[in-house]
Amino acid sequence: MQTENKSWIEAEHPDYRARRHVMARHRDLYIGGEKLRTNATDYLLRRRKEPLDIYQERLNRVFYENYVGSIIDWYVATLFRREPLITIEGDDARGRRFLSAFTEDCDLQGTSITEFFRRRILDALVCGASYILIDFPRADKQPETLAEEDMKGTSRAYLSECNADQLINWGQNEQGELDWVVIRTEAQRQEKLESDHSKETRWLYYDRQKFRMFLRRDSSTPESPIRMIDEGCHGLAALNRVPIISMQIPDGLWLMNKAGLLQLEHFNKSNALSWALTLGLFATPVVYSEREWSQIIGDSYFIQLGPQDRFGWTEPQGHVYQIAADNLSRLQQEIYRVCYLLSQAGGPLGGQSESGLSKQRDFQITQEVLRAYGDIVKETMKRVLRTVIAVRQDKVAVDVNGLDEFDIGDFSGELADAERLLSLGVPSATLKKQIFKKLALKFLCDTRQEVKDRIASEIDKGMEVAD
């Protein structure tokens, strides 16, 4: 297909260029471990006029206490302690069968929709945003009926992950809707067993109707040509929409952005303190003498002192070490505080004891933040499911609930609340039906979607018979 040395496809949006390095830093801070150690020169500050050999030794000893990564993992794990509740309304058996299969395998790789969105919210908490690509298998010939679509598998929608650092360029209309996007992915490929790995870069261009795919192999050389290897209509062309749905995190809830600089400061100071303590373990000999000193001192040597000479060792008194340790503790607590987890910081700020009521109030704040994340996930999930349903022309309605309770013991309280509500005798069959379905589906949240649909249908039919 078409080949060119330079292309508009390589252009990057100004906003992407401005935050590209920030996203790379945030990923390193989240992952930590050997990933951060490999890129330690980007984060461990070199002191003014520090000798290179000393700086290199500090790099070799670098370590990282990853608080913010653990905090983000805690939020994601707690948020998805119970799976979201997907309810389907309507008599379209075809649509129900598809959604049941889709929730169990949403990417044609065996990933459930809960696990898929767990990864998406994690990426959003690290980079501030995450993106979901909706697509359908391509057909050589346009099917004439829905049954033919199902038989050929072209109606089997699937999702693909798109990280925030992969969406490099985009255009929007006056209403803020996407008109086109460019997604860039990079990978190491080995075509044959005896060949070497080469870097492969792909660009995917989507507008409201078409897609185009570009490829560059061995992109280590700027002269490597870019080839267009595929083009055609994408799955959402019938809706005249770009097949990308975004999950945006508000700045106030972007955890890595709030805690990243604090984590970097803690990283540099903890490594500086560790280096100072290491040096303090090797005391320096001091000779007090008015004579010219030229003797060699070491484990295999001895020194000769005059009658008035004195010998001693220098060691730090430790005042600055205590100040540094206190400051590190303060930074650690501040990281938890800005992430709304002060109750888990290992002690309150200022060293004063906290009452049980105060701890409960702190955790209530954490729960409100978790509910905000739950709302973001549910809203994005609803947009994805309803978009897929619209393309497939299924006659069903779908809704997403849950992700608002974060304690296993909460179900007993909700059950008691439901019993009290039903005891009021509200003359509404719809209210009773919704209460029964919510309780049943929440209790069986980890059951297959097909079973959940069957239970919901049986509750609907049972209430109709009772009426």
CA-wise closest residue to 24 among 15, 35, 11: 35
Residue type at 15 in one-letter notation: D
Whole-number pLDDT of residue 398: 92
Q: What's residue 381's pLDDT?
A: 95
Cα distance between residue 336 and residue 338, in whole Å: 6
pLDDT at 219: 53
- 8 or 453, which is more confident? 8
Can you give the pLDDT at residue 320? 77
- Among the listed residues 213, 134, 124, the one whose alpha carbon sits nearest the alpha carbon of residue 164: 124
What is the torsional sign of CA 325, 327, 330, 334? negative
d(CA 345, CA 293): 53
SS3 140: coil
Q: Is the pLDDT of residue 230 over 60?
A: yes
What pLDDT shows up at residue 188? 82
Say which residue, 151 or 269, is predicted with more confidence: 269
* Higher pLDDT pick, 285 / 421: 421
Least confident of 11-25, 51-65, 372-386, 404-418: 404-418
Residues 6+ apart with CB under 8 A from 137: 153, 154, 156, 158
- Residue 465: Cβ-neighbour burial (10 angstroms; 0-12, 13-18, 19+): exposed
**Cβ contact 124:249 at 8 Å:** yes
- Asked if the model's pLDDT at residue 353 lies above 80, the reply is no
CA neighbor of 373 nearest in space, from 130, 168, 175, 104: 130
Taking residues 90-115, report their average pLDDT. Answer: 91
* Strand-pair category, 167-172 with 158-163: unpaired
Higher pLDDT, 467 or 344: 344
**pLDDT(460) > 90:** no
pLDDT of residue 264: 94
How far apart CA 208 and CA 133 sit, in angstroms, is 13
| Candidate ranges 3-7, 432-436, 442-446; pick with highest mean pLDDT | 432-436
Which tokens hold the place of 88? 């389907």
Which of 64-73, 281-290, 297-306 is predicted least confidently? Answer: 297-306
The answer to whether 118 and 17 have CB atoms below 8 angstroms apart is no
pLDDT for 217 equals 83
For the chain, helix (H) and strand (E) counts, in that order, are: 13, 13
| Contact assessment for residue 36 and residue 64, using Cβ atoms and an 8 Å cutoff | yes
> Which of 179-193, 209-223, 447-461 shows the lowest per-residue confidence on average (mean pLDDT)?
447-461
Q: Is 134 exposed, middle or buried (0-12, 13-18, 19+ CB in 10 A)?
A: buried
Residue 364 Cα to chain centre, angstroms: 23
Distance between terminal CA atoms of the chain? 66
- Res 447 pLDDT > 90: no
Separation between Cα atoms, residue 9 and residue 210, nearest integer Å: 15
Q: Yes or no: say if 128 and 121 are a contact pair by the CB < 8 Å rule.
A: no
Please name every residue paired with 163 in a beta bridge, in sequence order, or none if there are none.
130
Q: What is the pLDDT of residues 40-96, one digit of tens each?
A: 999 999 988 888 998 999 999 999 999 999 999 999 999 998 888 888 888 888 889
Instruction: Name the one residue in this structure whose structure tokens are 């770009």.
Output: 242
Q: Residue 256: pLDDT band by 50, 70, 90 thresholds?
A: very high
pLDDT, tens digit (0-9, with 9 covering 90-100), for 154-205: 889 999 999 999 999 999 998 889 999 999 998 887 766 666 777 889 999 9
Q: Is 427 exposed, middle or buried (0-12, 13-18, 19+ CB in 10 A)?
A: exposed
pLDDT of 425 strictly over 70: yes
Cβ neighbours around 393 below 10 Å, total: 13
Query: Nearest-CA neighbor of 137 among 111, 150, 162, 155?
Result: 155
DSSP state of 41: G
Q: Using CA atoms, how far apart are residues 228 and 205, in angstroms rounded to an integer?
A: 10
pLDDT band at 442 (very low <50, low <70, confident <90, very high): low
Could you tell me the two tokens for 320?
Answer: 């600055």
Sign of CA dihedral 124, 127, 128, 134: negative
| pLDDT score of 172 | 92
- How is residue 36 written in tokens? 């951060």
State whether the Cα torsion 66-69-73-74 is positive or negative: positive
Token pair listed for 195: 């060949």
Contacts of 265 (CB under 8 A, 6+ apart): 331
Measured in degrees and rounded to the nearest 5, phi and psi for residue 37 equal -60, -40
| Tokens matching residue 188 | 């190491």
For position 348, what pLDDT does the model report?
Answer: 46
Backbone angles phi, psi at 190, to 5 degrees: -130, 105
Q: How confident is the model at residue 109 (pLDDT cuts 50, 70, 90)?
A: very high
Q: What is the pLDDT of residue 321?
A: 78
Q: What is the mean pLDDT of the chain?
A: 83
Stretch 441-451: mean pLDDT? 66
Look up residue 46 and give its DSSP letter: P
**Backbone torsion region of residue 327, taken as left when φ is above 0, otherwise alpha when ψ lies between -120 and 50, otherwise beta:** alpha
Query: Is the predicted pLDDT of residue 326 greater than 70, yes or no?
Result: yes
